[in-house]
Structure formats: C-alpha cells, structure tokens
Amino acid sequence: MMLSLEHPIGERFFGLRLDTLIRLRWLAISGQTLAIVVVHWLLGFTLPLGACLAVVALSAWLNLALRLRNPGARRLSDIEAAWLLAYDILQLGALLFLTGGLANPFAFLFLAPVLISATALSPRTTILLGVLAAACAALVGLWQMPLPWSADDLGAAPVLPPIYLAAIWVALAIAIAFIGVHAWRVAEETRELSEALAATELVLAREQHLSALDGMAAAAAHELGTPLATITLVAKELARALPTGSPMAEDIRLLGEQAQRCRAILRTLTSLEAGDAPFDRMPLSHILEDVVAPHRNFGIAIEVTLPARGIDEPVIARNPGLLYGLGNIVENAVDFAAGRVNIVANWNHADVTVTITDDGPGFPPELIDSIGAPYVTSRGRNRWRREAVEAGEDSSEGLGLGVFIAKTLLERSGAEIAFANRTAPAHGASVTVRWPRARVDISGDPARVPAAGRS
C-alpha cells in the first residue's frame, strides 16, 4: 500500500487536510469500537467479534501509518482524498456485512464520506464516491451475515422483508444524491463568495497602497536620497583611502552596494505593476538568478545547478508571488547555512522541480511536520545576523509568518512544497518545490502573462 502521498496538483485545487481525515477516522474508529463493545458485552448480542475488531484495527493501522509517513498539515489532492474516503466506505461496508447489512441501523453512515467529499472535493469525485457508497449498500443488502440479536427477546433474529430492504436502499441512494448535491452547491457558493471577497480585498488594498504611495513615495525618495548619496560618497572616499589589501575593503564595498540597492528600491516604490518589470517572461535559470542575486554578499556560497541540455528550458511568468516565495526559502537557507547553499533545478515533460539545500543544522525534528503553518519559527543566525544582534540592532526572532506566506504564495502558483532534512552523513535542510510543467511553463503561449499583471 502506497502511504507516501506525493502527487501533482490539478488545475483547480479544492483542498482537504490530511489531518482532518485522520481525526475524522479516529472518531469513526472510536464510535465503531464502542458500538461493538456495547452490542456484544452489554446487550449480549452475538456477533463475529474477532472479524469486526480486525476491520476496525485495520483502520487504526492505516491512520498510524499515514500519520508517521506524512505531515498532518499538508493538503491532499483530489485523487488522494478520494482514495482515503473510498477506503472508509469499503470499511463501513465490511462492518455492515458482518452485522446485518441494510437491516443494521448504522447503514445511514454511508452518507458521511459522500458529504465530506461534496464539501471539499470536485463534483466528479463526489459522484464516484456516491456510486461506490450506493453499490456497497446494494451488496450488503443482498449478502450479509445475520443481524446481531438476543435469543432471549424474540427467540430468533428478525428477518426483514426483501421489499423493505429494497426501500431502505432506495432511500439511502436518494439521500446520498440529494444531500451530496445540496452540500456541494452550498460549499461551492461559499467558495465563490470567499474568492470574490479575497479578490475585492486585494484590489482595495492595492488601490489604497497606490494612493498612499502617490504622495509618500516622492517625499521618501527625496528625504532618503540625500543621506544615501552621502553614504555612497563616504564609502567611495573610504575605499580610495584604504591601503591595498586592507581587510576592511570588502566591508566598504558591501556598504556601497547596499546603499545603491536602497536607492534602487526607493525608485520602484512608485511603480508596483508587474508590467513595469523589464521582463514579464523569463527562463527558469534567469528567475533563479533573480531570486539568488540579493543574497550573494553575506558570506555564504550559493551555487545554482541546472540540468544538461535536453528538454527545452521552461519559460515562467515573472510572478511577484513566485519570486517572493522562492526568495524567502533562499533567504532562510542563507540564514541557517554554515557556509553553502545549493539550488538544483530539474525539469522534464511533466514537472519542474527546484530543490534548495543548505549545510546548516536542519529543521528541528519536533517542528518538521508543522513547517508552513503560521507562527512556527526556529530562527538561525549566520555571521551577519549574529553581529547585528550583538550590536543591539536585531533582537527579533520573528513571528514565523515568512515561510507560511511563502508556502501559500507558491501553492497558489500550483507548486507542491516538501520540507525535509538531508540524509546522513550530510546535514542541513532541504526544501523541494515542484510544479506541474503545464501549470507554469508559458513558452508555448505568448499570450499568458503573470497573474499579478492582471489584477
């Protein structure tokens, strides 16, 4: 059984957390165990106890295996969630086969997986799960072990007429169809409203930002331009005055470069449109160099490795969200690295993958399943950050929102992100970002532009 849930992300991602399904299954396991105990020991009804407990134990084993092999915070694809819900339907069918089939009052629980699918998964998946639930209900209606009953009450277990069992199946099938459609329609309207509100808030926030910058950007550029020019001039004078081979030459050069970078940032404050960028479409190698460039002067070696010539290099829209997400991961790798960060890009006809590794301490084992959730942080300190802390200029540990925002932005671009530690004897962290190639490669479609340019 494959329990490592690796998958590509489809065009529309509804999203269902693995942790949610695991918790719901634990609830079902608890209820099933309680029902078996009450019926067998408290009510004195005869049932195949060993077989029933074995079916429940199988679900418990699956839950434990999923929890150990996958982080609970990750979101499942439509297909993955469908397989897990299909297992729940089959498991319930097995229990009902052992305990009376459709004559068992708990047969209505066939509705539960279909309802979950209707609220979070695609219509096609919900229809398939509904058909599976109806088929299982029909099978346990035709073939089942006797309904558990006490011989002291009636002398023999009651036998329901076939027409009544058929009516139960018809009612169950109608309930699956009606409740599934109703739940999907309500959930879809909620999703559409949420997307519309999010888009409206984004536009309003953008307009408010632009309005505020109209007057503030010019004043900031004017006020800050003078001291930055002074810093640049002093840095140049110090560089000329230093003797050849001075150990301070590198620091003076870095000071001048960062002052120039500040001036460049000020010049971009008045223009937030993605279309103002020099290029809206860039090869992946150029995107990576654009991401890496601001982090090369901090004492950490950064190496970008590209595959040998073969399949054409993907061309990607210069999306600000994608750039920020990759930049945040690279920044964290530089922050934690002891001396080196490696960025390896690979692509084929199906996928585009970027793997970022460092030689630092790696992710704390107790946090690795929670990485990407908000307010989870374990900050490292490279040489530059340590010096800032010692000087009293940076005492903040951060709120842990950077990786959360980066992960969210990358997932919106269609990426799947995996966090792990490097395999011994190597040490350090490894972050793998993978996109379906069809989702990000626009080399064959000149009309496609970055999403930010359309907002």
187-222 tens-digit pLDDT: 888 777 777 667 666 656 655 655 555 556 566 666
- Clarify whether residues 156 and 287 are in a common domain: no
- pLDDT-derived band at 15 (thresholds 50, 70, 90) equals low
- pLDDT-derived band at 296 (thresholds 50, 70, 90) equals confident
Per residue in 232-269, pLDDT (tens digit) is 888 888 888 888 778 888 888 888 888 888 877 776 65
- Clarify whether residues 296 and 153 are in a common domain: no
| Stretch 413-428: mean pLDDT | 88
- Specify the pLDDT at position 109: 92
| Stretch 34-43: mean pLDDT | 89
- Specify the pLDDT at position 20: 86
Is residue 90 a part of any domain in this protein? yes
- The candidate with the shortest Cα–Cα distance to 115, out of 141, 133, 103, 101, is 133
More confident residue, 394 or 34: 34
More confident residue, 381 or 188: 188
- Clarify whether residues 433 and 288 are in a common domain: yes
CATH number, domain containing residue 406: 3.30.565.10
- pLDDT-derived band at 353 (thresholds 50, 70, 90) equals very high
C-alpha 324/C-alpha 410 separation (Å) is 9
Which of the residue ranges 205-214, 275-284, 320-329 would you say has the lowest mean pLDDT?
Answer: 205-214
Is residue 133 a part of any domain in this protein? yes
* Cis upstream peptide for 148 (omega within 30°): no
Q: Is the pLDDT of residue 5 over 70?
A: no
Is residue 8 a part of any domain in this protein? no
Is residue 223 a part of any domain in this protein? no
8-state DSSP, 424:
T
Alpha-helical runs (H) found in 242-319: 249-268, 284-292
DSSP string across 40-51: IIIS-----HHH
Q: Is the pLDDT of residue 4 over 50?
A: no
14 and 121 Cβ atoms separated by less than 8 Å: yes
430 and 368 Cβ atoms separated by less than 8 Å: no
- Specify the pLDDT at position 378: 57
- pLDDT-derived band at 365 (thresholds 50, 70, 90) equals confident
- pTM of the full structure: 0.51
The total of structural domains in the chain comes to: 2
Average pLDDT across the chain, whole number? 79
Which of the residue ranges 92-101, 118-127, 153-162, 227-236 would you say has the lowest mean pLDDT?
Answer: 153-162
- Clarify whether residues 153 and 22 are in a common domain: yes
> Which of 127, 160, 193 is the C-terminal boundary of a domain?
160
Q: Is the pLDDT of residue 95 over 90?
A: yes
Q: Is the pLDDT of residue 345 over 60?
A: yes
- Clarify whether residues 155 and 293 are in a common domain: no
How crowded is residue 10: how many other Cβ atoms within 10 Å of its Cβ? Answer: 14
Is residue 78 a part of any domain in this protein? yes
Is residue 421 a part of any domain in this protein? yes
- Specify the pLDDT at position 268: 63
> Which of 160, 190, 216 is the C-terminal boundary of a domain?
160
C-alpha 160/C-alpha 53 separation (Å) is 26
Q: Angle between the 111-120 and 123-142 helix axes, to the nearest 10 degrees?
A: 180
Q: Look at strands 340-347 and 416-421 and give their pairing.
A: unpaired
Residue range(s) defining the domain that contains residue 147 = 18-160
8-state DSSP, 373:
B
Is residue 32 a part of any domain in this protein? yes
Is residue 153 a part of any domain in this protein? yes
> Which of 111, 128, 160 is the C-terminal boundary of a domain?
160
